Structure 1
Amino acid sequence: MERYQPNGTPLSEADKAELGKLKQLLERAIADGVLTPEEMGQIKQQIQADGKVTYEELELYRQFVEEKIHQGLLVREIC
């Protein structure tokens, strides 16, 4: 994933690995078109796993979840 952030530091290999894990989790969670509270909890846990929330993690979430909800391709289950 490319990023542009003036004065930003390049992604470390560990950051890239965390992004890969998050992407896989997001793909599995939205595959059926329904995002359950349990899946949302797993996503939040993965985003916070390394103790920081990065721009790239939020951007992945936006692309995989928020955009699909707005397009009507994904429903978020609320319990």
Structure 2
Amino acid sequence: DNSLCQRTSINDNNDYRCWTSNQCQKVCPEKCKLACTDKGECCHSQCLGSCTEPYNDKACSACLHYNHE
């Protein structure tokens, strides 16, 4: 058990919550809605999941209304 990620139980499945080998899922504060930084600061409202700077629309890991074609 040397995963970087936290182990939580969802639907009776107790497991590590990882996206990749070095990037974990996280639970953001309720006030942040869709995304927060690793420190729990709210991201811009158009960010999904995470961002590198709070409230900056250019710092999103993924964007809510962006579709790459």
Higher relative contact order (CA 8 A, sep 6+): 1
Q: Same fold (TM over 0.5)?
A: no
TM-score, structure 2 length as denominator?
0.28
Which structure shows the bigger proportion of residues in helix conformation? Answer: 1
Which structure shows the bigger proportion of residues in strand conformation? Answer: 2
